[in-house]
Chain A
């Protein structure tokens, strides 16, 4: 019943949770005998202090955007899609096949085709768990987790036995043709005369990701399908009363979700590696869950959360590179952020809500 202002709900509470997570991270760093202040400075300058740092931060951000949106769409339908990792891996297969076996005259055509292909493969990988949930009631959390492992095994097999070029010792596909190389962000920004580091993997996919944010927002809050997805997610019984078919919504929402996860591959496979390697997703599918939770399922929130995790990824890499803080500590910091912004949300929310009640009473 008691509500705090919207700005506090969507901005203040997550920010305070974040500060709390950073504060405890600082304590942990101090406890292992390092200087937390120096660590934070290294992270910030490393991730945001140069266009080089920004390039990597935004590259990771792009990955998390897609997986975060994927989890969000399923979330609105009341479905917890833990399978972003596998769907993005399969998306990588779709992108790789599209880039390897079709001679594209120009990268723009290749990008469109690869986006569709990656989305189709990701969607296909989400389809079976979705069908099992819709028809047989097999819990989607369990099946999507299992499909992550099946997907990883499938890719291992394909890379080692089918797609690896003859004579290569490396379980990866051949390098894509130069025609399908995606322009880096520095090339895009150069058009506007903005200088940007050439040595980073961030590429035009970032723009696709931003477009996907807008598209997901429009889908969820402006279309009939989005209306049905949200209604179904809030109350299945009411949805059925309204003539919304649960099987259809479950399938459609999961196909969109898997498709978005699969689209991530145009960033890491086509844009960065320019070939398909083993374990190409590197956990971005799981980070997407945290991103979606922290972004509260709203594309703009997802964008902010993806930026935060992009910063943590890049800043963390810098930390491991330039200080004697062990690499594992980065995982601790990331875990604390997830813990405080996701799982322990109420820890901050309740006192803040109580504070607002108090001040409101006094002003009256």
Chain B
């Protein structure tokens, strides 16, 4: 097990702890393969006790696999794990918890209709009767809340809590199980900027009390803001570990991708033409009787990108659903001057596509792809009626689909370029590229894009942004919905902010900033 080129075997020197103190986590030569894919290759890393250690890398770089090994979900093919200087075996998550490791997943593992307290003790009850456990947990929780600024009402039902609070419950769960090491996987993906700030305060508090925090993220700004050390993974290998103050976002991005990356979007001025999408008085009330859209008016012209900013859950998803053809609404929507059906009688995903509307949906795994289908089957998804995919009146031309898939994989650099591989087995970024390739290459008049780069790695983000801008420059209209303000600000030609089912206001990117937009997003008319 030789150290790899580029790896600094020394995990960086912790500031607060003496160098002789054992590392909180030490991994030696961890390797893990899934079939032919080497997800982790001879990874060695040391994480100092009482520090915040960031791990960055593109999707598919092996971060999640490494953390899953540490948490007992997978067993490494080779290598050693040392916790607090002692070698340990972690065959399952129970063993990980015993070793003092707590994990906060990107998708919370909470029972929505249980209270905070019930969720905290779930799986860690003292005995068959719940009351003693609950009483003890209540006391512990009160202590933790005081100590770490982790205030959550123990009696609140989890489904009524905001996402930020639910995350705090996850952290409390780990601390209740006496975790000394806390691993957080993309913790800010679902948080508003305010909630993220609060989380960081909590994490700093935990570190100052001696806890060790491992932060997995793809947001370089967060790495720079909060971590003490940062490790970069690329294609299953640990390529560098550096003290955060000695690096820069540009350097990290380059290490992650293996080449220079443009962190800013390169785009020329828009040349808007005729109006493609016109939305008037669009309203939608959901099955529970909640008004999700309260009279939306907007338009998108050919050759421009209209960005819709807003905190998730303020009607952006419903707007896309209606335009994409699978939610009913009232109002009037025209595309190229032709009214589209909002009642669901004649309008569906298929008729929308026929009208020149393509759609990169917000949730690629739920809507955009059939995860069990091979990549080549997904390449025709939604366009499976297209003449080029038919062999004759009876049969589909599967060979044509495979060929098209292989071509798209080459053009969009989709890895691995194996059309027969199930969509499930691609990384998030590559899954998104499959969808983007499928939708953009139909050359639509109007492209609806929801969260195009959520959970997508930097290299792919750059690529997807370029594709969207290229489509705009080809004179197409683009409606972009994103909760990432950076993305909205850098891509949009105009920005509309949604709050509570309404458009709060419109801005030009050159005449606004995050603060201004933040006020609109919070429902304060500017």
Chain A residues in the interface with B (C-beta under 8 A): 1-3, 218, 222-224, 227-228, 230-231, 234-235, 237-238, 240-245, 361, 364
> Does residue B176 face the partner (Cβ distance < 8 Å to A)?
no
> Does residue B18 face the partner (Cβ distance < 8 Å to A)?
no
A345 to B329, CA, bound (A): 46
A1 to B351, CA, bound (A): 37
The reply to whether B77 and A245 contact each other, CB–CB distance below 8 Å, is: no
Interfacial chain B residues near A218, Cβ < 8 Å: 395
A235 to B348, CA, bound (A): 16
The reply to whether A240 and B370 contact each other, CB–CB distance below 8 Å, is: no
A293 to chain B, nearest CB (A): 18
A231 to B396, CA, bound (A): 15
> Does residue B353 face the partner (Cβ distance < 8 Å to A)?
yes
A242 to B359, CA, bound (A): 10
The reply to whether B367 and A241 contact each other, CB–CB distance below 8 Å, is: yes
A156 to B368, CA, bound (A): 50
From B372, B382, B395, give the contact of A242 (CB < 8 A).
Answer: B382
Known: A1-B34, A235-B370, A241-B324. A224 touches B349 (CB 8 A): no
From B324, B349, B366, B394, give the contact of A244 (CB < 8 A).
Answer: B349
Interface 1/0 per residue, B421-445 and A, CB below 8 Å? 0000000000000000000000000
Known: A234-B372, A234-B373. A243 touches B382 (CB 8 A): yes
From B352, B372, B394, give the contact of A223 (CB < 8 A).
Answer: B394
Sample 23 A-B pairs with CB under 8 A, ordered by A number. A2-B35, A223-B396, A224-B390, A230-B370, A234-B370, A234-B372, A238-B367, A238-B370, A240-B326, A240-B349, A241-B349, A241-B359, A241-B361, A241-B368, A242-B350, A242-B381, A242-B382, A242-B384, A243-B325, A243-B348, A243-B349, A243-B353, A243-B382
> Does residue B446 face the partner (Cβ distance < 8 Å to A)?
no
Known: A218-B395, A222-B396, A243-B325. A228 touches B384 (CB 8 A): yes
B26 to chain A, nearest CB (A): 24
The reply to whether B349 and A235 contact each other, CB–CB distance below 8 Å, is: no
The reply to whether B349 and A3 contact each other, CB–CB distance below 8 Å, is: no
Chain B residues in the interface with A (C-beta under 8 A): 33-35, 74, 77, 324-326, 348-353, 359, 361, 366-373, 377, 381-382, 384-385, 390, 394-396, 398
Interfacial chain A residues near B77, Cβ < 8 Å: 361
The reply to whether A227 and B348 contact each other, CB–CB distance below 8 Å, is: no
A243 to B74, CA, bound (A): 38
A224 to B393, CA, bound (A): 10
Extra 6 A-B pairs, beta carbons < 8 Å, given A218-B395, A222-B398: A1-B74, A237-B367, A240-B367, A241-B349, A243-B352, A244-B349
B423 to chain A, nearest CB (A): 10
A207 to chain B, nearest CB (A): 22
Interfacial chain B residues near A234, Cβ < 8 Å: 370-373
A242 to B384, CA, bound (A): 9
B356 to chain A, nearest CB (A): 14
Interfacial chain B residues near A3, Cβ < 8 Å: 35
Interfacial chain A residues near B371, Cβ < 8 Å: 234-235
Interfacial chain B residues near A241, Cβ < 8 Å: 324, 326, 349, 359, 361, 367-368, 382
Interfacial chain A residues near B398, Cβ < 8 Å: 222
A228 to B396, CA, bound (A): 11
The reply to whether B385 and A224 contact each other, CB–CB distance below 8 Å, is: yes
Residue of B nearest to A1 (CB): B34
A243 to B355, CA, bound (A): 13
A238 to B384, CA, bound (A): 13
B363 to chain A, nearest CB (A): 8
A80 to B367, CA, bound (A): 23
Interfacial chain A residues near B34, Cβ < 8 Å: 1-2
Interfacial chain A residues near B396, Cβ < 8 Å: 222-224, 227
From A227, A237, A245, give the contact of B384 (CB < 8 A).
Answer: A227
The reply to whether A238 and B368 contact each other, CB–CB distance below 8 Å, is: yes
Known: A218-B395, A227-B377. A238 touches B366 (CB 8 A): yes
A240 to chain B, nearest CB (A): 5
Interfacial chain B residues near A237, Cβ < 8 Å: 366-367
Give 7 nearest A-B pairs by CB, closest first.
A243-B350, A243-B349, A242-B382, A241-B367, A240-B326, A222-B395, A234-B370
A223 to chain B, nearest CB (A): 6
B13 to chain A, nearest CB (A): 37
A234 to B370, CA, bound (A): 7
A112 to B384, CA, bound (A): 33
The reply to whether A238 and B35 contact each other, CB–CB distance below 8 Å, is: no
A200 to chain B, nearest CB (A): 36
The reply to whether B367 and A243 contact each other, CB–CB distance below 8 Å, is: no
The reply to whether A231 and B367 contact each other, CB–CB distance below 8 Å, is: no
A189 to B31, CA, bound (A): 60
Residue of A nearest to B385 (CB): A224
B24 to chain A, nearest CB (A): 28
A237 to B361, CA, bound (A): 11
The reply to whether A231 and B370 contact each other, CB–CB distance below 8 Å, is: yes
B76 to chain A, nearest CB (A): 11
B359 to chain A, nearest CB (A): 7
Interfacial chain B residues near A222, Cβ < 8 Å: 395-396, 398
A327 to B382, CA, bound (A): 53
A244 to B361, CA, bound (A): 16
- Chain B CB count within 10 A is highest, among A223, A228, A230, A243, for A243
Interfacial chain A residues near B366, Cβ < 8 Å: 235, 237-238
A45 to B306, CA, bound (A): 76
Interfacial chain B residues near A227, Cβ < 8 Å: 377, 384, 396
A361 to B77, CA, bound (A): 8
A237 to B33, CA, bound (A): 33
Residue of A nearest to B74 (CB): A1
Interfacial chain B residues near A243, Cβ < 8 Å: 325, 348-353, 382
A245 to B326, CA, bound (A): 10
Interfacial chain B residues near A2, Cβ < 8 Å: 34-35
A77 to B161, CA, bound (A): 36
Residue of A nearest to B380 (CB): A227
From A238, A245, A361, give the contact of B381 (CB < 8 A).
Answer: A238
